[in-house]
Copies of this chain bind each other. A is one copy, B any other.
């Protein structure tokens, strides 16, 4: 709630509303109402409704990418060439970003399809590059015998779907703290891939 700028405050309430009602079902006036302001007033800070969605999605995407980059680096430094370590680090980083800002992440996961064609396909490409990180380590793990022989593309999609699903059911005030959930998801992910425990 430490809104450094008005623009940030708008994106915050927009994240909240987009996440729970969806982008198309949320009007500019809905966002304005949550800020106790007239709808037209938002256009002093924002150029269009889609720009708000884009800002949210772009920032969330950057967060996931940066966290993954860092996680892969640290995994490589800890255990060079170990696919299980790399996947574990990626999953943990993903869960941390996701639970760190449920609204923003939820919008990123579910509402990016509402972007215009060019931005939409840009996001699609970034998502594929992100998923490719997982595919790469799974492929390496299979070659090493660490992972069970399987289809890396399907395994990566299933794995990412599993942890992205968290955006739909994670509750910050829920039974388990985010760290515990991350532990469980890392375990489940590795078991899903490993040839033995």
Residues of A within 8 A of B (CB): 22, 24-25, 110, 113-114, 148, 150-151, 154-155, 157-166, 168-169, 176, 181, 184-185, 187-189, 191-197
Contact = CB atoms under 8 A, between A and B. Distances in A.
Contact of A165 (B162, B193, B194): B162
A132 to B, nearest CB: 14
Nearest to A131: B169
A158 B161 CA distance: 8
- Counted per complex, copies of this chain come to 2
Contacts of A197: 148, 195-196
A184 B151 contact: yes
A195 B194 CA distance: 11
A195 B154 CA distance: 22
